[in-house]
Amino acid sequence: MTADVVSQGSLRIRRATAADADALSEIGARTFFETFAADNTPEDMKLFLESTWSPELQRAEILDEGLDTLLACDASGAIAGFAQLRVNHPPEGIVVRAPVELKRFYVDKPWHGQGVARLLMEAAERAARARGAREFWLGVWERNERAQAFYRKCGFRKVGKQIFVVGTDPQTDDVMLREFE
């Protein structure tokens, strides 16, 4: 795949490099906080953010051969959203053919409802197909209505449940699946 996966208008989607680790860490932690802080204790949020969104961890994940990290960048080069795909990680207890997990899918709040997510999803599908995938799967918090509505628009359907731990709190995610053909 070329470095530029998709571009539309002033948005450009490209693969992350190690140089993006700080910026990815910042938008990842901030978007997670903005989306979920109201539903979690400050202690659980702190534990989760520190264990997941450090620049060191993001750098390692960007360089990880088993992950694809795609960034949607605006005209100034700032990250408007990102997708992280994980291979070799099928959903538990669900029959799949050749899955790729959509591990993270975040758009910065000012860009919600403006088509960034759709463009990012197209690029993510292209990257997943390049990995040989025949379907996408993901976990989304059962109370994250906006994300679920977006995924349904993209053709995902609910196929199960899984536990996702935020800090010390085990929460229930819906597992969603979308076949490519």
Residues that bind ligand COA (CB under 6 A): 31, 35, 105-107, 112-113, 117, 140, 144-147, 149-150
How distant, in Å, are the alpha carbons of 67, 69, 73 from that of 20?
15, 10, 11
Write down the least CB distance from residue 134 to ligand COA, Å: 21
Cα 23 from Cα 128, distance rounded (Å) = 24
DSSP annotation of 31: H
Closer to ligand COA at the Cβ: 12 or 105?
A: 105
Output the smallest distance, CB 52 to ligand COA, in A.
13
By beta-carbon proximity to ligand COA, the closer residue of 1 and 149 is 149
Report the C-alpha gap between 158 and 129 in whole angstroms.
21
CB of 126 to ligand COA, least distance (A): 17
- Least gap, CB of 122 to ligand COA (angstroms): 13
Minimum separation from the CB atom of position 117 to ligand COA (A): 3
Burial of 127 (0-12, 13-18, 19+ CB in 10 A): buried
Cα–Cα distance measured from residue 108 to residue 82, given in angstroms and rounded to the nearest whole number: 9
**DSSP H helices in the chain:** 21-36, 42-52, 55-63, 116-130, 145-153
